[in-house]
Amino acid sequence: MEHFDALLEKAQLTPSTLWKIAKDKRFVVRAPRKITPVDFLHIALAESLRAEPSYNDMAARLDAETGISASRQAFCKRVNDECVAFMQTVLATAMKKKIPDHGSCHPL
């Protein structure tokens, strides 16, 4: 998660900014008991790098990394139109900041 934290920091996407985006996009309406928008984003990004991510894997990663136990159904319920809007806004914000890719891509 450190790599994602560094990328988010470069994009000026602080935890408070992510919470604001989540509330604006109605991904969260009230304070969640288990899966925060920041944790959801970290887990979703990390699991998206796997060949076949699953809700089970997301729940297991949350437990391993934070000690918070959530069910696969809890993750499944979070993936909805509001989740998509949240993720799209986070991605668009990061892209607007033009985060350098540490030299792996070069301008044409």
Q: Into how many domains does the chain fold?
A: 1
Domain annotation covers residue 83: yes
Domain annotation covers residue 54: yes
**Domain enclosing residue 40, as ranges:** 2-96
Task: State the SS3 of 40-83.
Answer: HHHHHHHHHCCCCCCHHHHHHHHHHHHCCCCCHHHHHHHCCHHH
Domain annotation covers residue 108: no
CA nearest to 39, candidates 11, 23, 63, 71: 63
d(CA 21, CA 40): 13
pLDDT in the model for residue 104? 54
Domain annotation covers residue 102: no
Average pLDDT over residues 50-57: 88
Q: How confident is the model at residue 1 (pLDDT cuts 50, 70, 90)?
A: low
Average pLDDT over residues 59-72: 94
pLDDT in the model for residue 59? 96
Domain annotation covers residue 103: no
Residue 87 or residue 103, greater confidence: 87
